[in-house]
Structure 1
């Protein structure tokens, strides 16, 4: 598929896709591979390129990961930090948050049905250090987002989630991950239903931009 979006369109319409993931349509592995190939152009600290990508298409493995995700999501859904509970006292945002919560709950039940699960990982060869890990994950997460952008430009939808990391070790066992390889996200990938996506409502730049000082 030839990319057709402008840069601005791509950056403003790459949405988290949940209910609009087409769970019935197969996704060609070569298309996912091309998106990862593009993602590998992202920066990494010291040009270390310590990333690895688990692309899960096997039905039994997807189901097993989906079962873990469903159970982890139930814990998240019951927490104060659940997306559907945020900004409840702000009428301008409460309805949107409830919509996000409903959508997230749907994905919580259907994660294992997505035709492709992509799990970007970072190989450190050791346990994660204590304290500030921003530099460490900064060598993986830009590439993971580049994957989502490349997928969007090729008619695929993704959803960035980390809920499964409550039980990361169990997912690692399913995938046969060696010690010292750490999962950064879970990206269900599928063709999306409907026509396209629009930019989302966001805070004005004037409310979040700080010049020189807070």
Structure 2
């Protein structure tokens, strides 16, 4: 038997009533909240517990000024207003941690180190999953989110990850959303259009 479902308030908060926010109130997010966010999202599953995502929480004016040149014109005001913008990246050498985080497979590190294509696929798939966990966890902690593409990955990587080990994936603005910044909810596809039971 499945566990009891969360109540409607929780489901609405995380999914059904949640919206992408394009503007934010000026209330800052303290470091304790950012740490609590990570401490929640880190429990989301990844294959072989590989945990390849890395996060840069850009909150300072200096940090924002470093990020701004890489953003598309339409995203600059969003990042400027957001109390925090998270660069969700992947660690291309995530497998170096495997002996500690997946000790049940003693040769896991070597399997990835010797197969760069497998390592890359694993990093991007699981790092993207972890970015999604960040979005869900943020909503569970009472934050609003605005995930974004629309930036020059190479510029972000050169500025924030100059040694080349980490690669930016996408951005997520965090804060208390400005309701007026929301857009009408986009239509979602029906079960019959996207799924089948076999």
TM-score surpassing 0.5?
yes
Which deviates more, 170-179 or 136-145?
170-179
Gaps of 5+ in 1: 72-104
Q: Distance in 2 between matches of 1:13 and 1:132?
A: 36
- Identify if the C-alpha distance between structure 1 residues 41 and 206 changes in structure 2 by more than 3 Å, giving closer, same or farther: same
Match of residue 175 from structure 1: 160
1:15 to 2:29 alignment: no
Q: How does 1:90-109 map to 2 (within 5 A)?
A: 105=74, 107-109=75-77
> Conserved in 1, the CA contact under 8 Å of 2:20 and 2:146?
yes
TM-score by length of 2: 0.70
> What residue in structure 1 maps to residue 131 of structure 2?
144
Counterpart pick for 1:48 among 44, 47, 50: 50
Aligned to 1:160: 147
Partners in 2 of 1:56 and 1:141 — Cα distance?
Answer: 19
Specify which of 80, 89, 93 is matched with residue 112 of structure 1: 80
Could you say if the C-alpha distance between residues 33 and 5 of structure 1 is closer, same or farther in structure 2, counting changes exceeding 3 Å? farther
Query: How far did 1:130 drift?
Result: 6.5
User: How many pairs align?
Assistant: 168
Q: Deviation string for 1:83-113 (max 9, x for gaps)?
A: xxxxxxxxxxxxxxxxxxxxxx4x4433233
Q: Answer yes or no: is the 8 Å Cα contact 2:92–2:120 preserved in 1.
A: no
Unaligned 5+ runs, structure 2 = 1-7, 95-115
- Aligned-residue Cα RMSD (Å) equals 3.0
Instruction: Give the distance between the partners of 1:202 and 1:120, measured in 2 at CA.
Output: 25
Q: Which residue is 1:192 aligned to?
A: 177
The CA distance in 1 between the partners of 2:36 and 2:45, in whole Å, is: 17
Q: Deviations over 1:55-103 (max 9, x none)?
A: 11121221231232035xxxxxxxxxxxxxxxxxxxxxxxxxxxxxxxx
Q: Could you say which residue in structure 1 is the equivalent of 2:30?
A: 28
Tell me which residue corresponds to 1:57: 59
44-53 or 27-36, which deviates more: 44-53
Conservation of the 8 A alpha-carbon contact between 2:86 and 2:173:
yes
Taking structure 1 as the reference length, what is the TM-score of the superposition?
Answer: 0.66
Match of 2:91 in 1: 123
Q: Tell me if the contact between 1:5 and 1:153 (Cα under 8 Å) persists in the aligned partners.
A: no
Structure 1 Cα separation of the partners of residues 188 and 31 of structure 2: 34
